[in-house]
């Protein structure tokens, strides 16, 4: 680890040196179109995951999961309880790689209920595991106490056989899953959505299921939910496939499922393996970040051109796969990637975004051992509190180092801006222009330096006397690898009672530009009310 850190510092020094061309202070302008929304996110857009990995899950010689799985997580920890309650509500997706090796210890189960055991000859490196019903009861008591919206990932490999070519053949044997769903309904446990399978679409991870067979299985799940929840006012969402985006596979799957699927979920690990020593360079490279737009755009187009009413979620996203990387994916620098992902996903009408993970691995929102929030937790909480459902079209002119997004404000009048400065030496003074009419050849790009063909400026700067709220996020001592985040210069940390800190803004005269310091993130709540935000 020490060697890797020295290598990282050396490569970062070179990268930072190459990014100092601007330096000092520059001006830029964010243009916001308030005429109509380009997307609408769910009220509970922020989502996190809880996984099945046992302590023996190790990557690159590091075992980073500890007691963070659905089976052994300490549900009584005060910080954990408070961290979830702060969202009111937090959507949590229960699942991950090992979900397709889980049996449910309901009355119909004839197999021993034993836990995962490390075995390198087994698919995914572990033997079959089991969810005891007493643990399911404990989890649901915890979810009720903390106000969680539960999305449960079901085992989609039950009954299938692995073929010589690596594919999984045969129909889904849903008997154990149906028994588990019946148990859940009998106990009156609220489920927001049932999701089938994890990373079995397209080429799959470990194995794969053909789109036509997966579609048939989804219709089976739809029928199970319809008959099990019969007579109830609302039914859980039917969700799939929880895998990596593959246009051909997704199109075929959607065509064959009809209206049996409510949500199409896809996974994102666009930064590569956690062992990659260039993770930070990728995060700080605007062109690299732009690359994920093609996935969002592709899925959005498929949904628009199909007859389905399904909407898109990011069902799991950890950035760097194989558990992330210590002091990167659990440090301040990751908020650049994470918040940019949230902003970009929103502009393509993604309804929800599930972060891998709430706790566990090196990419948890909470520290695996202490439960203390990592920087991305506070980034997620600020987004949840400030960014409303309506997504506004924006462009930024002045520097490529600024990533800019805008939404109608949440539960208040006005709009909220998210500004991310990827440059380590340049302070950007951001002016604001509101546009009523944009006529362009192409869809507005929300972060590139770009000028629309026609622009009607309603307000370049607000009238004197109005104030806006600003939340400036920086790393402690300016160290991107710090696991301590500062809000307006003050350290964010839980107190001795495990309480999440209040996050108060600073108030700034709206006639002044927004000052975005080097390597910083700013949320700004503006008092202007646009037509789309009425």
Alpha-carbon torsion angle 227, 233, 236, 237, nearest 10: 100
Residues 307, 508: Cα–Cα separation, whole Å: 48
Phi, psi of 320 (to 5 degrees): -110, 120
* Coil/strand/helix, residue 255: helix
Catalytic residue (choose from 178, 199, 292, 470)? 199
Residues 23, 53: Cα–Cα separation, whole Å: 45
Annotated catalytic residue 292: no
Angle at 104 between CA 99 and CA 108, to 5 degrees: 145
Burial class, 74, CB count within 10 angstroms (exposed 0-12 / middle 13-18 / buried 19+)? exposed
Asked whether the beta carbons of 242 and 51 are under 8 A apart, the reply is: no
Question: Tokens 């700080």 identify what position?
Answer: 284
Question: Is the link from the previous residue into 89 a cis peptide, with omega within 30 of 0?
Answer: yes
Catalytic residue (choose from 281, 292, 316, 470)? 316
Asked whether the beta carbons of 92 and 149 are under 8 A apart, the reply is: yes
Asked whether the beta carbons of 114 and 102 are under 8 A apart, the reply is: no
Assign 3-class secondary structure to 519-532. CCEEEEEECCCCHH
Annotated catalytic residue 199: yes
- Tell me which H or E stretch contains 93: strand 91-94
Which residues neighbour 79 within 8 Å (Cβ) at sequence distance 6 or greater? Answer: 366, 370, 371, 372, 373, 494, 498
Question: Tokens 């462009």 identify what position?
Answer: 395
Residues 108, 402: Cα–Cα separation, whole Å: 56
Alpha-carbon torsion angle 447, 448, 453, 458, nearest 10: 30
Q: Catalytic residue positions?
A: 199, 316
């Amino acid at each position: 680890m020490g060697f890797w850190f020295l290598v990282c510092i050396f490569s970062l020094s070179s990268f930072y040196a190459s990014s100092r061309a601007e330096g000092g202070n520059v001006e830029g302008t964010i243009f916001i179109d308030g005429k109509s929304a380009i997307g609408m996110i769910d009220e509970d857009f922020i989502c996190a995951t809880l996984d099945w990995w046992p302590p023996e899950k190790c990557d690159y010689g590091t075992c980073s999961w500890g007691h963070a799985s659905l089976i052994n997580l300490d549900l009584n920890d005060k910080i954990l309880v408070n961290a979830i309650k702060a969202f009111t509500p937090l959507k949590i997706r229960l699942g991950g790689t090992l979900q397709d090796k889980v049996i449910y210890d309901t009355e119909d189960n004839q197999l021993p209920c034993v836990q995962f055991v490390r075995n390198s000859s087994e698919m995914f490196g572990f033997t079959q595991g089991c969810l005891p019903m007493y643990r399911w009861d404990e989890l649901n008591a915890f979810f009720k106490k903390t106000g969680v919206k539960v999305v449960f990932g079901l085992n989609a490999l039950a009954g299938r056989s692995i073929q010589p070519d690596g594919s999984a053949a045969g129909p889904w044997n849903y008997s154990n899953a149906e028994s588990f769903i019946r148990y859940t309904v009998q106990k009156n446990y609220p489920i927001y959505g049932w999701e089938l399978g994890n990373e079995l679409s397209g080429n799959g991870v470990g194995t794969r299921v053909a789109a036509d067979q997966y579609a048939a299985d989804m219709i089976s799940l739809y029928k199970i939910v319809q008959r099990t929840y019969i007579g109830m006012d609302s039914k859980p969402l039917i969700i799939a496939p929880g895998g990596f985006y593959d246009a051909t596979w997704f199109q075929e799957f959607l065509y064959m499922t009809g209206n049996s699927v409510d949500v199409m979920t896809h996974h994102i690990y666009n930064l590569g393996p956690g062992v990659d020593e260039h993770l930070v360079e990728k995060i700080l490279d605007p062109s690299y970040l732009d690359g994920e737009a093609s996935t969002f755009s592709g899925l959005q187009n498929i949904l628009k051109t199909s007859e389905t009413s399904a909407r898109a979620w990011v069902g799991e996203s950890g950035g760097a796969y194989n558990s992330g990387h210590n002091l990167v994916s659990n440090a301040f620098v990751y908020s650049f990637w994470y918040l940019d992902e949230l902003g970009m996903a929103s502009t393509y009408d993604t309804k929800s975004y599930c972060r891998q993970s709430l706790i566990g691995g090196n990419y948890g929102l909470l520290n695996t051992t202490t439960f203390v929030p990592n920087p991305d937790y506070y980034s997620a909480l600020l987004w949840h509190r400030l960014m409303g459902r309506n997504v506004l079209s924006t462009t930024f002119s002045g520097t490529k180092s600024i990533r800019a997004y805008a939404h109608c404000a949440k539960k208040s009048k006005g709009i909220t801006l998210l500004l991310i400065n990827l440059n380590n030496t340049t302070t950007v003074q951001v002016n604001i222009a509101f546009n009523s009419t944009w006529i362009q050849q192409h869809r507005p790009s929300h972060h590139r330096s770009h000028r629309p063909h026609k622009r009607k400026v309603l307000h370049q700067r607000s009238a004197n006397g109005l104030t806006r709220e600003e939340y400036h996020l920086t790393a402690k001592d300016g160290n991107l690898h710090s696991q301590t985040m500062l809000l307006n210069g003050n350290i964010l940390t839980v107190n001795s009672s495990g309480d999440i800190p209040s996050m108060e803004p600073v108030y700034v005269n709206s006639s002044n530009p927004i000052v975005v310091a080097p390597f910083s993130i700013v949320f700004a709540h503006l008092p202007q009310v646009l037509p789309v935000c009425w």
